[in-house]
Amino acid sequence: MTDDSMDDGLIHSYENRSIVFTHEISKDYLKSRYGQWDAFVIVHNTEDIIIRQIVAYDAEKDVITLHSFNPNYHDCDVSLKDVTHIYYVYGKQTLKMA
């Protein structure tokens, strides 16, 4: 991870240089269980690979709402048709610089 979008200074943060451990899930599985995990890695068709919370799913539009821990970033909606892979984060390790 190389940005501060998921770092709000609290213990649950994903700091710059964090390594995340993930497991891929299907879009259908995500739709019923997105609130079960703290963070997800989202691989988007045209955007970057990002890590965010998924705070809502609109079944009618097939859209997820992504949330950053850092309050300087705004929530955004992403169509699942534009997502190629979804991974839930089950662990992290932050590299400490000497």
CATH number assigned to the domain comprising residue 73: 2.30.30
Reported as a single tens digit per residue, the pLDDT across 8-38 is 555 566 666 778 899 999 999 988 887 888 8
* Within-domain flag for 76: yes
Spatial separation of the C-alpha atoms in residues 98 and 78, rounded to whole Å: 38
* Within-domain flag for 9: no
Reported as a single tens digit per residue, the pLDDT across 74-97 is 999 999 999 999 999 998 887 766
Split into its structural domains, the chain has a count of 1
β-bridge mates for residue 85, sequence order: 43
Amino acid code (one letter) for 56: A
* Within-domain flag for 39: yes
* Within-domain flag for 74: yes
β-bridge mates for residue 69, sequence order: none
Spatial separation of the C-alpha atoms in residues 31 and 46, rounded to whole Å: 22
Q: Report pLDDT for 6.
A: 58
Please state whether the predicted TM-score (pTM) of the whole model is above 0.85. Answer: no
* Within-domain flag for 8: no
